[in-house]
Structure 1
Amino acid sequence: MITRDLPSFFDHARTLGPDFGPATARAAFLVAPDGFARAEQSAGDNRYMAQAAAFDPGRASAQHRDLHRALSLSLPTICFAGDPDTPDALFPNNVFATGRGDAAVGAQPRYVIGRMRHPVRQREAGREDIRAFFREVLGYPEVDLSTQPHACELTGALVIDRARGLGFAGLSERCDEQGARLMHRALGLRATLMFELAPGEYHTNVVLAVLAGRAALVCPGGFADPAVAEAIAGFYAPNGIVLSAAEHAAFVANSIALSTYGLWMSAAAGRALSEPTRAALARAGFAVSTVELDAIEAGGGSLRCCVGEIF
C-alpha cells in the first residue's frame, strides 16, 4: 500500500506486527567531510544551512571523527573518504540506503541509490567505491534510481519504521510522489504514507524520527497538514513525542536509534530537550547519547543525516 489517505494507511498499519525485520541497523557507514563548504545549490531549498562564513572545515572534520569513534561503541561503523567536489557528501543517507527487496518476511537485502535533486549532490551517486562495497563486499543486489527523473532522496525524504515495514514520505522539492513510489518499491515496504512537508522544509528526517519501531519524535510545524503529525504521534502512543518549535530548530528530530535502547543526537539537540521530552524518552526506555556537531550542522543537517544504515 502507498497512499495519502490517513485512515486507510493507519487502519492497515495497525494490522502489521513488528516482524518485518530488525528495528535497528546492524552496521553504519559515514562519509568524511573532505572539502566541506556551503553548496549554493543545496542552500537554495535548505533553510537550515548557514552562510559560507560560518563553515569551519577543520572543526567539522574533527567533530566527524568524534562521531565515528562514538558510534563505533554502538555498532560497526565504517567511514569512506570524502571528495572536495561533493561538499554535501557527509550526508550519505540521502544517496545510499539498504533494505529488503520485497515485503515478504525473510527477503534478502539490497542497496538502493537515490536520485538527488541538485547536480552537486547527483555526483555522489557515482561513487564507485561505495557501490563496490555494497555490491562486492556485502553482495547486495543494486537498485539504481539515480538516472530516472524523479527526486527521491532516500532516508532524508523517507522515514522508515523498519520493524513494521512502514514508510513516511514527506513530499517536497527533494521527493515527488513518483519518487516516493519508487523508494517504496525499491525498499520493499509494506505500506507508505505520503504527505506534504510544510513550506521551507526539505527533508522528512528533520521533522520526524521513528525510534526502534516503538517511539516517534514529531515536529508538527514541519508538516503542511497538522493532522498528519497528530496521526503519526497517535500511532506510536504512548511514545509518540511531540516536539516544540525550539526542539525542532535544534534538530532533535534528526536523531537515530542505533540499538534497542540507544538514541543518538547532536549535543545541541540534547541541550534543547525539554524536561517533558526527556521524561518521555526515558519512559520509552531510551538512553540519549550526544556528540558535538555544531560545525557540521552549518551544512543544514545533523547527526541522523550523517549516518547511512546497513540492514
Structure 2
Amino acid sequence: MITRDVAAFLARARACARDFGPATARAAFLVSPDGFGRAAESASDNRYMAAGDSAFDAARATQEHRRLQQDLAQDVPVFCFAGLPGAPDGLFPNNVFATVPGRLVVGRMRHAVRRREAERQDIRRCFTELMGYDECDLSAQPHPCELTGALVIDRARGLGFCGLSERCDEAGARLMHEAFGLRATLLFDLAPGEYHANVVLAVLAGHAALLCPRGFADPDVVAAIAALYAPHALLLSSEEQAGLAGNAIALAPGRAWMSARAEATLSAVTRAGLEAAGFRVGSVPLDAIEAAGGSLRCCVAEVF
C-alpha cells in the first residue's frame, strides 16, 4: 500500500507486526566533508543552511566528523569514504545511498551539484562487488527521490513516511516504496519551507517517534503517526525543531543520537519521554556541519 489516505494507512500499519526486519542497522557509513562549503543550489530550498561562505569552517567540520565516527562506533561498526571533489555537501550520503538486506539503493537528487555523488563507483562497488549486494539505481530517472532524507522508514514493521517537496515527488516516492519493498507508505506534504521529512520526523528503532508538528502541512498526519507510536510519540516544540532535534537516529536499541545543539534544546518533557521509551540520548557537537543545513541523521547512511 502507498497512499495519502491517513485512516487507511493507519489501519494497515497497526496490522503490521514488527517482523519485517531488524529495527536498527548492522553498520553505518559516512562520507568525509572534504571540500566542505556552501552549495548554492542546495541553499535554494534548505532554510536550515547558513547564509554566506564565511559560516562554513571546513577544518572544524572535519574534526566534528571524526568525532562523529568515533562516537557512533560505540553502537555499530562505522566506516567512512573520502569526500568527492566538487560535492560541498556530500557529507550527507543518506540522501543518495541506502540499503535493505542484500540491496543497495541509489537515489535521484534534485540538484545537479548532488547528482554527481550518485555516480561514485567506489561506494557502489563496495556494496556490489565486496559485499555482494544487488543494485537498484534510481539516479537516472527524472523523478527526485532523496531516499532516507525524504523517506523515514520503520524498519521493524516495513512502514514508510514520505514527505513530499521539491526533493521528492509522488512518482519518486513510489519508486522508493518499491525499491525498499515496504508494506505500506504514507505520502504527505511537508509544510512550506521544509525540504526533508527526516528533519521533522524520526522513528527510533521502530519503537518511538519524534515529530515536529509545524513541519507537516496536515495536522491529521501528525495525529496518525503519533497514534501509531503512542505512548512513545513525542511532539517537539518549535525551539526543538529549529535545533534539529527531529534529525535523530537510533543505531542500536536504547540510544537516540542527535547533535549537541539538538540535545541542548530538549525540554524536560521530551527527555522524560525518551527515557520512558527506553532511550538515552547520545550527542555529538556538530555546529560547523550544521551550517550546511543538515545534522547528525543526515550524515549517516545505514547498512542493513
Matched AA of 1:92: P
Match of 1:48 in 2: 48
Can you list the C-alpha shifts for 1:66-121, whole angstroms capped at 9, x where unaligned? 00111111110000000231111100000000015xxxxxxxx2110000000000
Shift of 1:59: 0.3
2:296 paired residue among 264, 279, 303: 303
Matched AA of 2:250: A
Match of 2:183 in 1: 190
Match of 2:22 in 1: 22
Match of 1:80 in 2: 81
Match of 2:2 in 1: 2
2:259 is the counterpart of 1:241? no
Can you list the C-alpha shifts for 1:268-298, whole angstroms capped at 9, x where unaligned? 0011000000000000000111000000000
2:246 paired residue among 250, 253, 266: 253
1:220–1:230 CA contact under 8 A, matched in 2:
no
Shift of 1:176: 0.1
Match of 1:292 in 2: 285
Q: What 5-or-longer segments of structure 2 have no aligned partner?
A: none
1:36–1:84 CA contact under 8 A, matched in 2:
no
Shift of 1:234: 1.3
Matched AA of 2:211: V
- The secondary structure found in structure 1 opposite 2:262 is helix
2:205 paired residue among 206, 212, 217: 212
Match of 1:231 in 2: 224
Return the alpha-carbon distance in structure 2 between the equivalents of residues 234 and 12 of structure 1: 13
2:119 is the counterpart of 1:126? yes
- The secondary structure found in structure 2 opposite 1:120 is helix
- The secondary structure found in structure 2 opposite 1:200 is coil
Shift of 1:180: 0.2
Return the alpha-carbon distance in structure 1 between the equivalents of residues 34 and 228 of structure 2: 40
- The secondary structure found in structure 2 opposite 1:93 is helix
- Equivalent positions of 1:92-131 (< 5 A) are 92-100=93-101, 109-131=102-124
Can you list the C-alpha shifts for 1:23-69, whole angstroms capped at 9, x where unaligned? 00000000000000000000000000002211100000000000011
Return the alpha-carbon distance in structure 2 between the equivalents of residues 11 and 129 of structure 1: 42
2:138 is the counterpart of 1:145? yes
The runs of 4+ residues in structure 1 deviating greater than 6 Å are none
Return the alpha-carbon distance in structure 2 between the equivalents of residues 83 and 124 of structure 1: 7
Match of 1:103 in 2: none
- The secondary structure found in structure 1 opposite 2:252 is coil
Shift of 1:233: 1.0
- The secondary structure found in structure 2 opposite 1:258 is strand
Aligned residues: 303
1:268–1:294 CA contact under 8 A, matched in 2:
yes
What TM-score, normalized by structure 1, do the two folds share? 0.97
Return the alpha-carbon distance in structure 1 between the equivalents of residues 155 and 166 of structure 2: 25
Match of 2:214 in 1: 221
Return the alpha-carbon distance in structure 2 between the equivalents of residues 84 and 62 of structure 1: 18
Can you list the C-alpha shifts for 1:241-288, whole angstroms capped at 9, x where unaligned? 000000000010101001010110000001100000000000000011
Match of 2:276 in 1: 283
Match of 1:270 in 2: 263
Q: What 5-or-longer segments of structure 1 have no aligned partner?
A: 101-108
Match of 1:60 in 2: 61
